[in-house]
Amino acid sequence: MSPGRAPRLHPGPLPSPSRSSAIDAAGGATQHRPSKLRHTTTTTPADAGSVPSSAETHGATCQQGDVSHGAQYMREELGFEKIPEDIVHHIHSHLHVQDAARAACVSRVLLRSWRRYSNLRLDDRTLGLTGKKYEDREISIIDKVNKILENHYSNGVKVKTLLLDLYDYKNIDASYLDRWLEISVKSGTEELYLMLQPVMDGNYYSFPCSVLSDKAAASSIQTLFLVSCIFHSTSTLGCLKRLKSLNLSMVHITEEGFGHFLSKSSALEWLVVHGCRGITCLRIPCTLQQLKILHITTCQMMQVVEIDAPNLCTLCYSGGPLAEISVRNSSQLKDVTFWFNYVSAPAILSYARARLPYIAPNVECLTLRSHKENFNTPVLSSKLIHLKKLEIGVLKSEEAFAPSYDAFSLVSFLDASPVLDSFVMWVEQDVVMQDPVVGDEAKYSRRKPDCCYNSLRQVTISSFSSAKSLVELTIHILESAPSLQRLILDTTHSHGTLVRCRASGGICGQCCEMSVTALAEAHRAVEVAGRYIAGRVPSGVEFQVLEPCSRCHTGNP
């Protein structure tokens, strides 16, 4: 992923680490999506922006075909005229914007409801522009958005949700954006999503804080989602007393401006900061008493993160440099993710092993990803006494270096976690030391079990290979976990069964690809598992070795 490229984010507070996926930043990252902003697969109308005015002028006429002959039948069949208009409007408000506009073509009751329709998602799909050339789309989207928003404004409709997805457009004049926000963001507006395209020359659109200076408008906003713009938080900014979700992605904002923004947002529950280069020291004040979830992703200038939010439950820090993180009130912090794919942040596992007992001593669910781990995880005396679920991935880096990681050193995390229930890990072949397993299988117990993992029940090792350290780690777990119920060794690099085809026990149409080299190693891993591990598995433990798929894994160069 290019550090300067903004992700294509979908509505919701969780950003994704790449444009083509959600928020996974993200994470990763399950992603909240407002139920009223769901995608549909219905046919797009020719001109959604002109539907209301056309229907009002010409009656029940649809611009995507002459359906006027069926309008009366539909009205009689559905019986909208016999239903109280408040109920009709409630039903109508749950339709996608393009479906709501089309419905207004065939019913006067729904036409009146359309004039009160308050959830507007305006993008290529809903405006029927996906099949047009770029030049035509850019002209059309301005015209259509103008028509819809002006129509609502002239009829006094309060826009409850406004989503402007203009990510694929680079030449929309700022005056249009200013006008659209000015006439739409009023008292009663609860959700605002503005997604713009990053620009190479740095000439970003400056979000008009004036629209949030109005006391009534500011106090009604509950969700604010901004992508690729400048935000100058000034003294005129209103009190955002109902703002619960804030997502700033590729937003140019100063540390002072961000601090001022947070001081106006005491009800904030979900905060995402993605790719904001202007912030080197992120301070989360104790005034954010309601903050539950914090995601900091791909902030390349970040050096210090200071958190004083007493009810923070989830922390995700990914991408960018390894900042110095401190948490003052950490009693509720139970879910932590560190995910680094930059070579500037090596030895994440060592950092997490040393610092997490102090950053989040009550952590129960821990996810760690590292793309460069040149140092073995140290053995330390500190504990993670509440940790129940641990997931660790050590992935290969784009930077070439000799495989040197000792997978057995992950025992340090197991030794530190007395109540650990579930352990999932993968250490890719190009990272782990490739000492071959040879000779007598009895010698592959590296140490006598001095820690007993009494609570450990589920273990999955993906990217399982014939590396000696992986075999030693697996044997150690078998000898140290008397409560173990299930052990899965996945040799296919699929990181679990979800990316295996149905024929191999997964849910996808095709298993992940494997090169000729990876396929050969997978077959060696199956042989090693059968010789050195299978005989040590207690009879009460469910044991699986996931082999390459005979249908999908034919070996790609």
Give the pLDDT band of residue 344 (cuts 50, 70, 90). low
pLDDT above 70 (res 310): yes
In a domain, 248, yes or no: yes
d(CA 176, CA 196): 13
Among 27-41, 168-182, 192-206, 497-511, which range has the highest average pLDDT?
A: 168-182
Residue with tokens 């396929």: 519
- What lies within 8 Å, CB to CB, of 483 at 6+ separation is 453, 454, 455, 456, 457
pLDDT above 90 (res 72): no
In a domain, 250, yes or no: yes
In a domain, 282, yes or no: yes
Average pLDDT of the chain to the nearest whole number: 79
Residue 262 host element (H or E): helix 255-263
DSSP 510-523: SPPP-BHHHHHHHH
Q: pLDDT (tens digit, 9 = 90+) per residue, 15-58?
A: 333 333 322 332 333 333 333 333 333 333 334 444 433 333 33
Mean pLDDT of 94-111: 71
Strands (E), 341-436: 365-370, 389-394, 422-427
pLDDT score for 548: 84
pLDDT score for 556: 52
Domain count, the chain: 1
The β-bridge partners of 230 are: 206, 252
pLDDT above 70 (res 342): no
pLDDT score for 505: 62
- What lies within 8 Å, CB to CB, of 291 at 6+ separation is 268, 269, 270, 271, 284, 309, 311, 312
If one compares 391 and 320, the residue with the highest pLDDT of the two is 391
DSSP 99-158: HHHHHTTS-HHHHHHHTT--EEEESTTTTT-TTS-HHHHHHHHHHHHHHHHHHHHHTT--
Mean pLDDT of 440-462: 77
Q: Are 394 and 432 in contact (CB under 8 A)?
A: yes
Cβ-based burial of 13 (10 A; exposed 0-12, middle 13-18, buried ≥19):
buried
The β-bridge partners of 425 are: 392, 461
How many helices and strands, by DSSP H and E, does the chain display?
13, 19
The type of residue at 364 is E
pLDDT score for 190: 96
Alpha-carbon distances, residue 107 vs 74, 101, 221 (angstroms): 8, 11, 32
Give the pLDDT band of residue 282 (cuts 50, 70, 90). very high
Q: pLDDT (tens digit, 9 = 90+) per residue, 123-138?
A: 888 888 888 888 888 8
Q: Could you give the angle at the alpha carbon of 14 between the alpha carbons of 12 and 15, nearest 5°? A: 105
In a domain, 266, yes or no: yes
Both tokens assigned to 479: 């000898």
Give the pLDDT band of residue 511 (cuts 50, 70, 90). confident
CB contact burial 427-453 (16+ within 10 A = b; e otherwise): bbbbbbbbeebeeebeebeeeeeeeeb
Give the pLDDT band of residue 517 (cuts 50, 70, 90). confident
Mean pLDDT of 111-122: 76
In a domain, 272, yes or no: yes
Give the Cβ contact number of residue 495 at 10 Å: 19
In a domain, 368, yes or no: no
pLDDT score for 134: 83
Mean pLDDT of 244-273: 96
Give the pLDDT band of residue 185 (cuts 50, 70, 90). very high
pLDDT score for 35: 36
pLDDT above 70 (res 440): no
- CATH, residue 167: 3.80.10
Mean pLDDT of 263-285: 95
pLDDT above 70 (res 406): yes
pLDDT score for 332: 97
Q: Are 291 and 309 in contact (CB under 8 A)?
A: yes
Give the pLDDT band of residue 437 (cuts 50, 70, 90). low
- What lies within 8 Å, CB to CB, of 187 at 6+ separation is 158, 214, 216, 217, 219, 220
Give the pLDDT band of residue 196 (cuts 50, 70, 90). very high
d(CA 463, CA 457): 20
Q: How far is CA 169 from the centre of its chain?
A: 23
Lowest mean pLDDT among 77-91, 218-232, 510-524: 77-91
Give the pLDDT band of residue 5 (cuts 50, 70, 90). very low
Give the Cβ contact number of residue 26 at 10 Å: 31
Q: 280 is in which domain, residue-wise?
A: 1-29+158-333
Percent of the chain topping pLDDT 90: 44
Among 53-67, 187-201, 325-339, which range has the highest average pLDDT?
A: 325-339
Give the pLDDT band of residue 102 (cuts 50, 70, 90). confident
Q: What is the chain's alpha carbon radius of gyration, rounded to the nearest angstrom?
A: 28
pLDDT score for 506: 61
pLDDT above 80 (res 264): yes
Give the pLDDT band of residue 508 (cuts 50, 70, 90). low
Both tokens assigned to 101: 């506009």
Lowest mean pLDDT among 224-228, 312-316, 489-493: 489-493
Give the pLDDT band of residue 157 (cuts 50, 70, 90). confident
pLDDT score for 59: 35
The β-bridge partners of 231 are: 207
**For the whole model, what pTM was predicted?**
0.80
Q: Are 435 and 402 in contact (CB under 8 A)?
A: no
Q: How far is CA 286 from the centre of its chain?
A: 26
